[in-house]
């Protein structure tokens, strides 16, 4: 941090400390309706206090606290105009959704509907308050004589515009009726956030209709860590303070609204069966008390209520909160009857325009309906909303999607002219991705959009300019015109809506069950069956004496926690580095681990740094159960170890683990804290904890090979056990062979399959190309011919089939992606119908990768190591499949001119290390990576031989990553042997592959040989493996 920034923050802190403060004391008399509701509450259930401590805060820059005055003021006049605009448009609202309702998506919705009320993504008040304070402090430092008015008028606001700017603000009617949603639990910060909005409005960057306080978001990051969102429902008095702060900060010029839920599970942790028996009278009474206390200051009269409770104690994800708790629309309808002076909008579970109409008809006093995910999934399905909900005629400015897309393209050009295309283009294209959802070739359109989205970033990475490139508007229109039919592009709103209604009728006849937000009966039945089977397994173990019932551990009254302090006091300071053991032996083991890590790292509080490889291990303590997949990961976190442990247990529970079951029994996911370091005084220091809940280091490390092997891989083996004074590698080497079964390295594959590296793996080559150097034209005549050859290679002993639709021989030209897909995907699908053998797709292109994996491929073999297509690594990470990262310079057309190296072994090794790191940073763990030195790709004869001679060195420098070698029938073998016909070089191929492996140590068995002649290679590797095993 530079000196100016440090001084700025110090100055900001001083200003905020000495600012005047005051309390919110105004509480107008309750209306007759409020008194009536209180009488109802006293009959239905007793008033209960929040289980959370009451949060208090003060507001600086004080002003009058009265919510209303006797005479109309300029502020009240403006507020009344805004309120009328709000009431005229709230019939249908676009719900706030993180990562969806940005200004680009709101622009699209405004083109579809000129009347729908638009909500922004939630903006955290502290972000606005701190950025504004910093900007003002910076301006004061540079202009020491400036008055407060000058500071407010001139401080830098570019960062704030990222949160608050609206599209087309200078072109009437701008964005139209829209609501800015704010989140926070500190009145002072919300006051300052509202001030910021007012200042940005004065500068012409935004013109919101209202401000909304988020009291409904159930995300653990918001309601748990942030103590706002749905957590605020348990403290309505604080909510009243927060809305008053928004009112005062906006100078009384904007209506203040609240978005909430029907309640939370704060009094009793949510359980679906128990919740079915809940006292609905008491639950509704609590909701009434929330409405009353929030409305008491006379500021809030408009509420958007989600018809589900927020489950906070179970750490449900937002998606779980949208699906699992039952919908109770009757609560919102009853609120409309009991509080006629307030307005209510219904939210939750609304999936179509027809459903919006039904809800408004069922409850005439309902002011509006809020829709979120349905808008985001298929915005065109709401194209008739202005006619059907607002009584507007059918003379829309934009009558079809082609016209809407043209209008949106103008917005896209304007945005790129003002901003950085490399940063914003993906957001611009993301907004229009669902515009043709469900239409023929809609997927082709989405893929084309995805391609143009990456162009600016790719050019920037190559230090190239966008100058001379087509405008984004031209690219978008070409995507649509090239992918979609005229019928789709020019179909009118009315025709589209009638088609949609017909589809809904057909669906309702096929599946008459009502959409009530519950999980399907099939899913429920499956869950019950799975639990019964699991319970039965443990009961059988208990009855057979294989295990003993779990006993509660006695409480250790004298447990001492050494060297333990809380996490950093400000921001997300990742001051803990933790090694975790991960394992699974129930269900799809790899997917269980993958999902568990995704849940663990879904917030900024935990970030995975690196991973080990996966190991297949037999159960150590309880033998009568399935084998485990085990690994280790290193994470950095801001969470104190006991808090991290709680998060780990929540993740295990989310994945189905039952903690009441027997210890060391089968489990879908196991997460253990092995070691933990804390950063203090400029250095990492080992942490030791000995409490009843947690012991660090983990007491079982030294006796468990299934822990030590992966831990050695992820830590480099040099991590020192703070109590035993031995490195992880030393403990692993000293482990007695009798301690337990050996851990075997595995490559995890989709559909709960693995490849075991307990022998050398042979990959059979299947080129469905007309021009490959050895077998071009042999297997591309028909799908049946290709499939039969694949099955023959499987019979000959191949463990993997590698299918390629593009020749990468020297001098070969690039093949179009569509052609590669046409060649490979039918073959993959046909093999899948006959065999479950692992299939690799040999391609440099992300689109081909996606199509192949969706068709049934398991592995990606990229000869460019992810460099040819900048979307490759992120695509592989998203799909969760292994990737072969090969070394190559240039392209097949240019690589033979790029064979000069300073030291070919060191240069290739370094390049592969960089690709491995890039893959990890893209989200591909080490357990999904394979390296290939690229024999014959930009190497001359000597280079190829040196790489083969030094495979052991390359593998060692890559931390024992699996190595794939592909010398099969290549030209340098012909030069060595004098065999000119490629198909006759199989003897040389076997020799070139077996000899290097003989030079390696006996423990190095993680090798894959890619060959044309499978039978000969399999025979040779069996002899090699047998020799190495003795």
Q: Which residues are catalytic?
A: 970, 1010
**Pair of tokens at residue 535:** 């319970």
Among residues 763, 777, 990, the alpha carbon closest in space to that of 884 is found at: 763
Per DSSP, the three-state class of 117 is: strand
**How far is the C-alpha of 749 from the C-alpha of 745, rounded, in Å?**
13
Among residues 320, 328, 334, the alpha carbon closest in space to that of 347 is found at: 328
The helix/strand count (H/E) of the chain reads as 38, 28
Per DSSP, the three-state class of 897 is: helix
**Pair of tokens at residue 91:** 């019939």
- Cβ count near 410 (within 10 Å): 13
Cα 227 to the center of its chain, rounded Å: 22
Angle between helices 493-510 and 353-362 (to 10 degrees): 80
Pairing relationship of beta strands 178-183 and 117-119 according to DSSP bridges: parallel
Among residues 848, 838, 748, the alpha carbon closest in space to that of 804 is found at: 848
Stated as kind and residue range, the H or E segment containing 666 is none
CA distances from 142 to 3, 145, 308, 666, 760 (A): 13, 9, 51, 65, 68
- The strand pairing partners of 839, in sequence order, are 801
Place of tokens 């921001």: 571
**How far is the C-alpha of 911 from the C-alpha of 583, rounded, in Å?**
32
Cα 915 to the center of its chain, rounded Å: 23
**Pair of tokens at residue 730:** 């030393």
**Pair of tokens at residue 616:** 């297949």
CA atoms within 13 A on the CB side of 646: 9
**How far is the C-alpha of 909 from the C-alpha of 953, rounded, in Å?**
9
Pairing relationship of beta strands 744-749 and 614-617 according to DSSP bridges: antiparallel
Angle between helices 103-112 and 401-418 (to 10 degrees): 150
**How far is the C-alpha of 887 from the C-alpha of 171, rounded, in Å?**
53
**Pair of tokens at residue 124:** 């955290």
**Pair of tokens at residue 799:** 């463990």
Stated as kind and residue range, the H or E segment containing 998 is helix 986-999
**How far is the C-alpha of 884 from the C-alpha of 865, rounded, in Å?**
7
Stated as kind and residue range, the H or E segment containing 92 is strand 92-94
- The strand pairing partners of 616, in sequence order, are 629, 744
What per-residue string of b and e applies to 126-158 under the rule 16 or more CB within 10 Å gives b?
A: bbbbbbbbbbbbbbbeeeeebeeeebbeebebe
Place of tokens 């897309």: 405
**How far is the C-alpha of 216 from the C-alpha of 222, rounded, in Å?**
10
- The strand pairing partners of 677, in sequence order, are 577, 686
């Amino acid at each position: 941090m530079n000196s100016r920034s440090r001084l700025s923050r110090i100055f900001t802190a001083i200003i905020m400390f000495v600012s005047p403060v005051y309390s919110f004391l105004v509480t107008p008399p309750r209306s007759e309706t409020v008194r009536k509701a209180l009488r109802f509450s006293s009959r239905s259930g007793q008033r209960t206090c929040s289980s959370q401590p009451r949060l208090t805060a003060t507001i600086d820059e004080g002003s009058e606290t009265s919510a209303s005055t006797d005479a109309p003021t300029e502020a009240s006049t403006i507020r009344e105009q805004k309120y009328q605009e709000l009431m005229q448009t709230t019939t249908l609202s676009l719900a706030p959704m993180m990562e969806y309702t940005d200004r680009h998506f709101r622009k699209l919705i405004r083109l579809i509907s000129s009347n729908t009320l638009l909500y922004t993504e939630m903006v955290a008040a502290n972000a606005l308050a701190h950025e504004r304070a910093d900007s003002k402090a910076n301006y004061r430092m540079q202009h020491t004589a400036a008055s407060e008015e000058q500071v407010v008028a001139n401080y830098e606001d570019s960062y704030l515009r990222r949160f608050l700017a609206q599209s087309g603000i200078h072109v009437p009617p701008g964005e139209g009726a829209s609501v800015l949603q704010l989140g926070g639990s500190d009145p002072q910060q919300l006051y300052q956030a509202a001030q910021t909005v007012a200042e940005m409005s004065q500068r012409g960057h935004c013109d919101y209709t209202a401000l909304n306080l988020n009291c409904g978001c159930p995300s653990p990051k918001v309601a748990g860590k942030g103590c706002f969102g749905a957590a605020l429902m348990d403290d309505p008095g604080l909510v009243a303070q927060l809305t008053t702060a928004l009112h005062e900060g906006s100078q009384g010029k904007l209506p203040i609204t609240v978005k909430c839920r029907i309640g939370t599970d704060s009094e009793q942790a949510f359980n679906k069966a128990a919740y079915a028996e809940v006292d609905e009278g008491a639950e509704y009474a609590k909701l009434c008390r929330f409405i009353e206390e929030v409305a008491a200051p006379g500021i809030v009269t408009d509420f958007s209520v989600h018809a589900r409770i927020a489950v906070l104690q179970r750490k449900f994800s937002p998606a779980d909160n949208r699906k699992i708790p039952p919908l109770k629309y009757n609560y919102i309808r009853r609120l409309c009857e009991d509080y006629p002076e307030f307005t209510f909008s219904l939210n939750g579970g609304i999936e179509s325009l027809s459903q919006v109409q039904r809800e408004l008809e069922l409850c005439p006093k309902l002011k509006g309906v809020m829709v979120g995910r349905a808008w985001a999934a298929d915005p065109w399905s709401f194209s008739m909303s202005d006619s059907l909900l607002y009584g507007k005629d059918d003379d829309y400015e934009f009558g079809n999607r082609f016209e809407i897309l043209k209008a949106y393209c103008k917005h896209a050009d304007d945005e790129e002219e003002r901003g950085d295309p490399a940063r914003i283009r993906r957001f611009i294209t993301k907004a229009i991705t669902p515009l043709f959802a469900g239409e023929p070739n809609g997927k082709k359109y989405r893929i084309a959009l995805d391609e143009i989205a990456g162009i600016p970033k790719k050019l920037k990475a190559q230090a190239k300019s966008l100058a001379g490139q087509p405008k984004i508007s031209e690219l978008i229109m070409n995507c649509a015109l090239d992918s979609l039919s005229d019928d789709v592009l020019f179909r009118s709103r009315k025709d589209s809506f009638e088609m949609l209604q017909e589809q809904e009728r057909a669906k309702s006849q096929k599946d008459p069950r009502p959409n009530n937000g519950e999980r399907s009966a099939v899913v429920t039945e499956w869950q019950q069956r799975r639990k019964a089977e699991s319970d039965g397994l443990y009961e059988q173990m208990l009855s057979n004496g294989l295990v003993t019932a779990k006993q509660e551990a006695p409480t250790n009254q004298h447990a001492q926690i050494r060297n333990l302090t809380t996490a950093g006091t400000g921001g997300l300071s990742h001051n803990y580095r933790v090694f975790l053991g991960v394992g699974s032996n129930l269900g799809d083991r790899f997917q269980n681990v993958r999902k568990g890590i995704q849940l663990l790292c879904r917030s900024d509080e935990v970030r995975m740094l690196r991973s080990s490889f996966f190991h297949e291990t037999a159960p150590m303590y309880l033998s009568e159960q399935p084998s485990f997949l085990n690994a280790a990961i290193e994470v950095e976190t801001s969470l104190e170890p006991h808090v991290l442990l709680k998060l780990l247990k929540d993740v295990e529970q989310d994945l189905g683990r039952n903690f009441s079951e027997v210890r060391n029994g089968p489990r879908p996911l196991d997460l253990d804290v092995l070691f933990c370091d804390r950063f203090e005084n400029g250095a990492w220091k080992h942490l030791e904890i000995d409490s009843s809940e947690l012991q660090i280091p983990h007491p079982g490390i030294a006796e468990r090979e299934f822990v030590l092997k992966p831990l050695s891989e992820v830590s480099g083996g040099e991590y020192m056990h703070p109590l035993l004074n031995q490195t992880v590698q030393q403990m692993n080497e000293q482990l007695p062979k009798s301690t337990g079964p050996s851990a075997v390295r595995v490559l995890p594959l989709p559909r709960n399959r693995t490849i075991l590296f307990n022998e050398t793996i042979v990959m059979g080559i299947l080129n469905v190309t007309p021009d490959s150097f050895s077998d071009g034209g042999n297997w591309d005549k028909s799908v049946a011919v290709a499939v039969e050859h694949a099955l023959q290679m499987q019979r000959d002993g191949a463990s993997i089939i590698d299918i390629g639709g593009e020749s990468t021989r020297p001098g070969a030209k690039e093949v179009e992606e569509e052609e590669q897909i046409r060649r490979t995907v039918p073959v993959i699908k046909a093999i899948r119908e006959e065999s479950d053998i692992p299939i690799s797709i040999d391609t440099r292109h992300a689109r081909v990768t996606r199509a192949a994996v969706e068709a049934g491929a398991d592995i990606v073999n990229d000869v460019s190591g992810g460099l040819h297509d900048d979307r490759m690594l992120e695509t592989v990470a998203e799909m969760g499949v292994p990737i072969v990262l090969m070394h190559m310079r240039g392209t097949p057309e240019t690589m033979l001119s790029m064979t000069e190296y300073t030291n070919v072994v060191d240069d290739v090794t370094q390049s592969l290390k960089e690709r491995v790191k890039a893959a990890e940073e893209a989200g591909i763990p080490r357990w999904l990576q394979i390296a290939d030195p690229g024999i014959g790709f930009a190497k001359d004869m000597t280079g190829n031989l040196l790489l083969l001679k030094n495979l052991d060195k390359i593998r060692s420098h890559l931390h024992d990553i699996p190595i794939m070698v592909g010398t099969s029938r290549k030209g340098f073998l012909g030069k060595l042997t004098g065999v000119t016909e490629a198909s006759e070089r199989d003897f040389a191929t076997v020799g070139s592959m077996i000899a290097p492996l003989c030079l390696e140590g006996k423990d190095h068995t993680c090798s894959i040989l890619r060959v044309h002649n499978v039978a000969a290679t399999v025979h040779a590797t069996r002899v090699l493996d047998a020799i190495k095993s003795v």
